């Protein structure tokens, strides 16, 4: 008998109005975070003011965001594998309208909060870029929505690019209980995209994919094992999660959105104790040379922080 991945949603499975996917509190057992994804044109999409803070993340294309009598132009990017994007944080209690005169694809990351923080624009040159891991565990992280980069109330957000054949969200880890100074309780959203690795001359019908896993911890039972493609979403309410693995011919991207019930906005994790040794093993290996350019960009961005 097939096992249903109850916390995994293929592209379009949660469509609503102009949105291809909507994750919010209407999902049973989901409380603190949300995401909306849409293909947008000049007609735009609107979101009302609410007790929600939001980050507008261009996936492809450039965007105009109107919010509380102001207009912010987002330069965006050609696609999620083309480096960091500029983003707009819109604080709790503000409505917004997003449009793309030339067309584009956008994600809106959300967290429930009643704490009001001022809206803020972050240029792509100021996005902290981190090279994490070593060898085939190397990935590039764009930390535009982490506590060090963004003054927000509850939301923590970043995006990860995993080159073809590499693993990320590895070793498997969890953040589903409050252990002061060691672990924070956070829901997490994974929004995925995948594409053929550059230079491989893939045919137009190539089925770009990666894989993602989540499994049970003392906080709850979860069993996600999925091939993931562009537009798919995995939710992690609890449990160990990882790896997210890119197939050898395809690059894998994901956008992470986290928030929880705690007063402190911090990302503290506990590795699966059977896998924690992997971090020590990185010390004897070099990062994937394909990410050397991103390492240089990280150093440049450090001058802005």
Q: What is the pLDDT of residues 91-117, one digit of tens each?
A: 999 999 999 999 999 999 999 999 999
């080159």: which residue's tokens?
163
| Per-residue confidence band for 199, with pLDDT thresholds at 50, 70 and 90 | confident
Q: Does residue 152 belong to any structural domain of this protein?
A: yes
For the ranges 54-63, 82-91, 295-304, the lowest mean pLDDT is seen at 295-304
pLDDT computed for residue 1 by the predictor: 38
pLDDT computed for residue 4 by the predictor: 60
Cα atoms in the 13 Å half-sphere on the side-chain side of 288: 21
């261009």: which residue's tokens?
58
Asked if pLDDT for residue 300 goes beyond 80, the answer is no
């507008």: which residue's tokens?
56
pLDDT computed for residue 299 by the predictor: 45
List all residues 6 or more positions away from 75 whose beta carbon is below 8 Å from its beta carbon.
Answer: 58, 62, 85, 86, 124
Cβ 220 vs Cβ 10: under 8 Å = no
| Per-residue confidence band for 298, with pLDDT thresholds at 50, 70 and 90 | very low
For the ranges 97-101, 173-177, 198-202, the lowest mean pLDDT is seen at 198-202
Task: Pinpoint the alpha helices (H) of the chain.
Answer: 277-281, 292-302
How far is residue 184's CA from residue 186's CA, in Å, rounded to a whole number?
6
The count of other CB atoms within 10 Å of the CB of residue 280 is: 8
Q: Does residue 260 belong to any structural domain of this protein?
A: yes
How far is residue 104's CA from residue 39's CA, in Å, rounded to a whole number?
6
143's tokens? 């930390």
Question: How far is CA 295 from each of CA 23, 57, 128, 292, 298, rounded to the nearest angstrom?
Answer: 33, 22, 11, 5, 5
Asked if pLDDT for residue 302 goes beyond 60, the answer is no
Residue 255 is given by DSSP the state E
pLDDT computed for residue 188 by the predictor: 98
Q: Does residue 73 belong to any structural domain of this protein?
A: yes
| Closest by Cα among 204, 212, 218 to 232 | 212
Scored b (16 or more CB within 10 A) or e, 155-169 reads bbbbbbbbbbbbbbb
The count of other CB atoms within 10 Å of the CB of residue 298 is: 17
> What is the rounded average pLDDT for all residues in the chain?
94
Average pLDDT over residues 109-127: 97
Share of the chain above pLDDT 90, in %: 92
DSSP for 158-227 reads EEEEE-TT-EES-S-EE--S-BTTTB---EEEEEEEEEEPTTS---TT----EEEEEEEETTEEEEEEEE
Q: What is the pLDDT of residues 10-45, one digit of tens each?
A: 999 999 999 999 999 999 999 999 999 999 999 999
Q: What is the pLDDT of residues 206-215, one digit of tens each?
A: 999 999 999 9
Q: Does residue 289 belong to any structural domain of this protein?
A: no
| Per-residue confidence band for 128, with pLDDT thresholds at 50, 70 and 90 | very high
Q: Is 152 helix (H, G, I), strand (E, B) or coil?
A: coil
Q: Does residue 292 belong to any structural domain of this protein?
A: no
Average pLDDT over residues 161-183: 97
CATH of the domain at 202: 2.60.120.10
Question: How far is CA 159 from each of CA 13, 84, 142, 230, 256, rounded to the nearest angstrom?
Answer: 22, 9, 5, 14, 6
How many domains in the chain? 1
124's tokens? 């792509």
pLDDT computed for residue 292 by the predictor: 63
Q: Given phi > 0 = left and psi -120 to 50 = alpha, else beta, which region is 236?
A: beta
Asked if pLDDT for residue 50 goes beyond 50, the answer is yes
Asked if residue 165 has a cis previous peptide bond (ω within 30° of 0), the answer is no
pLDDT computed for residue 10 by the predictor: 97
Q: Does residue 241 belong to any structural domain of this protein?
A: yes
Cα atoms in the 13 Å half-sphere on the side-chain side of 45: 20
Q: Which domain holds residue 247?
A: 10-274
Cβ 171 vs Cβ 275: under 8 Å = yes
Asked if pLDDT for residue 301 goes beyond 70, the answer is no
Q: What angle do CA 93, 97, 100 make, to 5 degrees?
A: 150
Average pLDDT over residues 127-141: 97
The count of other CB atoms within 10 Å of the CB of residue 28 is: 6
**Whole-structure pTM value:** 0.95
Q: Does residue 284 belong to any structural domain of this protein?
A: no
Q: Does residue 151 belong to any structural domain of this protein?
A: yes
């Amino acid at each position: 008998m097939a096992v249903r991945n109850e916390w995994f949603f293929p592209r379009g499975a949660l469509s609503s109005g102009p949105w291809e996917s909507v994750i919010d509190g209407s999902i049973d057992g989901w409380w603190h975070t949300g995401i909306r994804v849409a293909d947008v044109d000049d007609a735009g999409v609107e979101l009302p003011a609410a007790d929600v803070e939001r980050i507008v993340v261009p996936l492809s294309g450039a965007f105009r965001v109107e919010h509380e009598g102001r207009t912010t132009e987002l330069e965006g990017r050609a696609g999620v594998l083309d480096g960091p994007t500029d983003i707009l944080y819109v604080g709790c209690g503000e409505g917004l309208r997003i449009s793309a005169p030339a067309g584009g694809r956008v994600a809106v990351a959300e967290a429930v909060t009643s704490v009001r923080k001022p809206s803020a624009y972050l240029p792509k040159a100021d996005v902290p870029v981190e090279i994490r891991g070593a060898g085939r565990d190397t990935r590039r992280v764009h930390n535009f929505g982490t506590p060090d980069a963004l003054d927000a109330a509850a939301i923590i957000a970043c995006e990860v690019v995993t080159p073809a054949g590499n693993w990320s969200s590895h070793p498997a880890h969890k953040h589903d209980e409050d252990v002061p100074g060691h672990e924070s309780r956070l829901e997490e959203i994974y929004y995925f995209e995948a594409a053929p690795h550059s230079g491989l001359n893939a045919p137009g019908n190539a089925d770009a994919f990666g894989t993602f896993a989540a499994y049970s911890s003392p906080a709850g039972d979860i069993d996600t094992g999925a091939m993931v493609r562009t537009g798919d979403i995995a939710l992690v309410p609890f449990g160990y999660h990882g790896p997210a693995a890119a197939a050898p011919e395809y690059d894998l991207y994901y956008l992470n959105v986290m928030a929880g019930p705690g007063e402190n906005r911090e990302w503290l994790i506990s590795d699966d104790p059977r896998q924690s040794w992997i971090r020590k093993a990185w010390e004897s290996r070099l990062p994937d040379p394909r990410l050397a350019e991103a390492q240089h960009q990280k150093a440049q961005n450090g001058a802005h922080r």
